[in-house]
Structure 1
Amino acid sequence: MDIPRTGQAQKRRMKRTAIGVGIGAAVLLVTFGLARLEPAAPPVKKETVWIEAVQRGPMLRAVRGPGTLVPEDVRSISAPVEGTIERIPALPGARVEPDTVLLEMSDPEVMQNAFQAESQLRAAEADYANLRARLESEFLSQQSQVATIESQAEQANLQVEAEERLFKDELIPELTLKLSRLRADQLTKQAQIETERLGKIHSSQQAQLSAQQAQVNQMRALYGLRQRQVDSLKVRAGIPGVLQELPMVVGQRVTPGTTLARVARPEKLKAELRIPETLAKDVAVGLQAQIDTRNGVVAGRVTRVAPSAQDGTVIVDVAMEGPLPKGARPNLSVDGTIEIERLDNVLFVGRPTYGQPNQKIELFKVVKEGEEAVRVPVQLGRSSFNTIEIVSGLDVGDRVILSDTSAQDGYDRIRLE
């Protein structure tokens, strides 16, 4: 007969419970350990990234931009009158002098106006000549009248003197003497009146002649204007230089103000740079610059900064301070570097792809002898077109990745292969 063993079932249950607790604890430990592990660092090939070391020393702040050489002295020639282009004797690229005819125009109305102005001038001159002759005749007639009256007055005065002597000798009556004196006084006063009239006639005639002369001058000025309009039908260069543009064709009708041509002095060129608007805030007149013409570098100085931006750039004019290399000509493409300031004893590095001045960014710093790179915060300072100041976060000799690392934004560490 079997004897039942007490407590065996309870022991088995306790054993199974202990095993379950152990397995659960092991799972928790494994899970916790896995959670503590860092994600695997993604590999990046060294030849695909731009790595540069942080330096300390002088740093040149500069901005850079492309541009073209343009003439400093450019004359735009506009049509002074309406006309039809009849002939174009000059072509772009030709050397011209001030009196070189660039194109010839015609306009019947301009010619008719000149003819009418000439006729009006001739008529005004004839009227002036006739008026002057008539007034001279009137003046001479009045002069003759004055001379006659003065002569009569003189004779009357002599008659009075003679009769006074005869009256003293009682040879003539007193009445005769009084009548002679009265006549002499009348003639003397009449002579004075006629003399005054002669002066007023002279003043009046001068006023009439001046008015007629003003009419002549007006007609002469109008004729000169009409004649200049006729002369302007032959469009001339106006300055010595090279004909840059002449976009006209024979038979084309142009109105006053239409730009006909551009003439420039090719020996005097300046650089017209296009500086990005984000970099142009520190550019000012007087700053030094270097202009690369692809055939040499020329020193220059900023002479003008455009007051507004266009298409994301600011136009900056740079005057040359040295001779231009051979081959320099208008519209030649150039690169310009404008020096903003020189900083002494600063930490700096090449400019990161997305690094802006005075911003805090994160860069990958190379560690473990170039095998890995870890993300570190970096405070940036002042910048140039190819370098930027390091305010904090890096030291001299630290090597950082400056190229685009946006593909590794989710990682704090990368492996360099």
Structure 2
Amino acid sequence: MSIADTSGQDTLLSPAASSRRRTIWIVAVVALLILALVVALPAISNWQQSEASVPRDRLRIATVSYGDLIRDLSVEGRVVAAVSPRIYSPAQGTIDLHVDAGEQVTQGQVLATIDSPLLTNELQQEQSQYEALNVALERQRIQAKKQMLEDQKAIDLANVTLLAADREKRRADKAYETRAISNIDYEKAQDDLNNAQLVHEHAVQDAALNKESLLFEIEAKEHEANRQQLRYSDLKRQVDALTLRSPVTGIVGNLAVEQKNQVTKNQILLSVVDLTELELEVAIPESYADDLGIGMPAEVRFNNSLYAAKLISISPEIENNQVTGRVRFAPPEDDPDAIPVGLRQNQRLTTRILMENKPNVLMVQRGQFLDSGAGRIAYRVDGDMAHRVAIQTGARSLSSVEIVDGLAPDDQIIISGTSAFDGAQSVLITQ
């Protein structure tokens, strides 16, 4: 038995054809090697020059360009009432509430009354004392008029006596010239005239002093009555204050006491919220406190709409690494009614404070490279290499940072964290 082979299928090749095919294969392999070497040579050169390497998908790269840089701060604001007065008890007593929590009230509307028998009794006593002093003042005025009338009567009588003595003196002068009366009678007539003059002068002086004294007594009584009137007016004011009225138009807040309860002086009773004057209380990070100023414009987002506002106050103290500020709605002059409607107290709204607007500045997207290099180092991308360059940054916003020096427009830099580069001068970016 014989075994068949494949010798029948073989083809005899000539030595020249086999050598040509081998040469073709060798040339192809050499060409592929040369091509691979050309392609790999730059990569090998970059790898030799680089001090570190990082995959591209782990990096964030941004382009430096010109634009308008708006320094802003986005914070969460809590709606609070700009006017929300609290009502305190003016005296001790029993309260009678006339409104309920959440009820709409107008300015001047009676909210509650307090029954204070002690204060009411004091008012009645002071009123009685005031009326008594007024009666005493009127009595003093009448007595003064009577006394001045008596003094005037004495002056008039002294004047009559003076006129009679003067007449007798003139008669005595004529009689003495004709020697009709003695020297003693003549001297007596002269003494009577002098005496009448003295009595008249003293009557006039006594009347003037009495008038001055009476006016002084009246003035003292008036001061006493005025002092009592002040005490009476003050007590009347306190009694009138027992009727508690709303200082603003708004809504009654929470009631701090129950109906007909006993209250003490200066105890909180209730509050009234004026919903027409609403503001936003914002918590600002401590790091931005020095950059903020009163009057800075702001934007408040409510129901997918933006409303103009401004920063009106900044707290001087820091609590929990935050500074408290107040933002008030500031509609434009051409649209004074551009204020959100339907706000509720303690509602949370996003507020954007615009600290500065710098037009047409060289800037780049903000990233973690600012923290890694303290804003002085950046890695500029050139193909598959990133080279470390010194930069100088300026103003910063939430999304961008100003480039003052070190970079040019259209430069690309790594904006993600660069702390893993360990300060390398060149970094290879791998695919």
TM over 0.5: yes
Structure 2 residue runs of 5 or longer lacking an equivalent are 1-47, 332-337
Distance verdict in 2 for CA 1:360–1:406, change over 3 Å = closer
For residues 244 and 89 of structure 1, do their structure 2 counterparts lie closer, same or farther at Cα, with a shift above 3 Å needed? closer
Structure 2 CA distance for partners of 1:94 and 1:45, relative to 1, 3 Å = farther
Alignment pair present for 1:162 and 2:202: no
Contact 2:300 2:351 in 1 (8 A): yes
Counterpart of 1:326 in structure 2 is 341
Greater displacement, 186-195 / 271-280: 271-280
Are residues 1:223 and 2:232 paired?
A: yes
Q: Which AA in structure 2 matches 1:68?
A: R
**Contact 1:365/1:401 (8 A) holds in 2:** no
Q: Which moved more, 1:85-94 or 1:198-207?
A: 85-94
Shift of the alpha carbon at 1:58? 2.2
Match of 1:106 in 2: 115
Structure 2 counterparts to residues 372-387 of structure 1, below 5 A: 381-387=394-400
Normalised by the size of structure 2, how large is the TM-score? 0.72
Is 1:58 aligned with 2:68? Answer: yes
Alpha-carbon distance change, 333 to 357 in structure 1, aligned in 2, over 3 angstroms: farther
The one-letter code of the counterpart of 1:56 is: Y
Q: Give the Cα–Cα distance (whole angstroms) in 2 for the partners of residues 377 and 210 of structure 1.
A: 92
Q: CA RMSD in A?
A: 3.8
- Alpha-carbon distance, 1:246 to partner: 4.0
The correspondence of residues 80-91 of structure 1 with structure 2, limited to 5 A, is 80-91=90-101
Counterpart residue identity of residue 81, structure 1? A
Match of 2:402 among 376, 389, 395: 389
Is residue 2:136 matched to residue 1:127?
yes
How has the CA–CA distance of structure 1 residues 358 and 105 changed in structure 2, closer, same or farther, with 3 Å as cutoff? Answer: farther
| Code of the aligned partner of 2:150 | S
Quote the residue 1:92 is aligned against: 102
2:287 aligns to what SS in structure 1?
coil
> What is the CA distance between 1:80 and its match in structure 2?
2.8
After TM superposition, the structure 1 stretch with the greater mean CA deviation from structure 2, 231-240 or 74-83, is 74-83
Q: Distance in 1 between matches of 2:76 and 2:264?
A: 37
**Distance of 2:257 and 2:368 partners within structure 1:** 48
From 344, 355, 361, the equivalent of 1:340 is 355
Q: Is the 8 A contact 1:359 1:381 kept in 2?
A: no
Runs of 5+ in structure 1 lacking a partner? 1-35
What do residues 127-174 of structure 1 show as CA deviations (whole Å, max 9, x unaligned)? 223333333322222222222111111111122223323333433333
Distance 2:105 2:183 in 1: 102
Corresponding position of 1:28: none
Residue aligning to 1:142? 151
Cα offset, 1:45, TM superposition: 7.6
1:240 offset after TM fit, Å? 3.8
1:29 maps to which residue? none
Tell me, in whole angstroms, the C-alpha distance in 2 between the residues paired with 1:88 and 1:50: 66
Displacement of 1:314 after TM fit? Answer: 1.6
Q: Return the alpha-carbon distance in structure 2 between the equivalents of residues 361 and 250 of structure 1.
A: 68
Amino acid across the alignment from 1:385: L
CA distance in 2, matches of 1:181, 1:357: 124
Distance change in 2, residues 1:328/1:241 (3 Å): same
Preserved CA contact (<8 Å) 2:300 2:352: yes
Task: Give the conservation status (yes or no) of the 8 Å contact 2:95–2:113.
Answer: yes
Query: Do 1:153 and 1:191's aligned partners in 2 also have CA atoms closer than 8 Å?
Result: yes
Residue equivalent to 2:335? none
1:280-291 equivalences under 5 Å are 280-291=289-300
Contact 1:363 1:377 in 2 (8 A): yes
Among 86, 89, 107, the alignment partner of 1:79 is 89
Q: Give matches, 1:8-407, under 5 Å.
A: 53-97=63-107, 99-322=108-331, 323-352=338-367, 355-356=370-371, 359-360=374-375, 381-390=394-403, 392=406, 396=410, 398=412, 400=414, 402=416
Please tell me the residue identity of whatever aligns with 1:129.
Answer: E
- TM superposition shift of 1:274: 1.9
| Matches of 2:181 and 2:200, distance apart in 1 | 28
Preserved CA contact (<8 Å) 2:144 2:215: no
Q: 1:119 to 1:408 in 2, by over 3 A?
A: farther
2-side partners of 1:158 and 1:284: how far apart?
A: 97
In structure 1, distance between residues paired with 2:373 and 2:379: 19
Change (3 A) 1:104 1:137: same
Match of 2:185, SS state, is: helix
Alpha-carbon distance in structure 1 between the residues aligned to 2:429 and 2:70 = 32
1:27-64 per-position Cα deviation (integer Å, ceiling 9, x unaligned): xxxxxxxxx9x9x9898988xx9775544322111122
> Size of the alignment, in residue pairs?
373
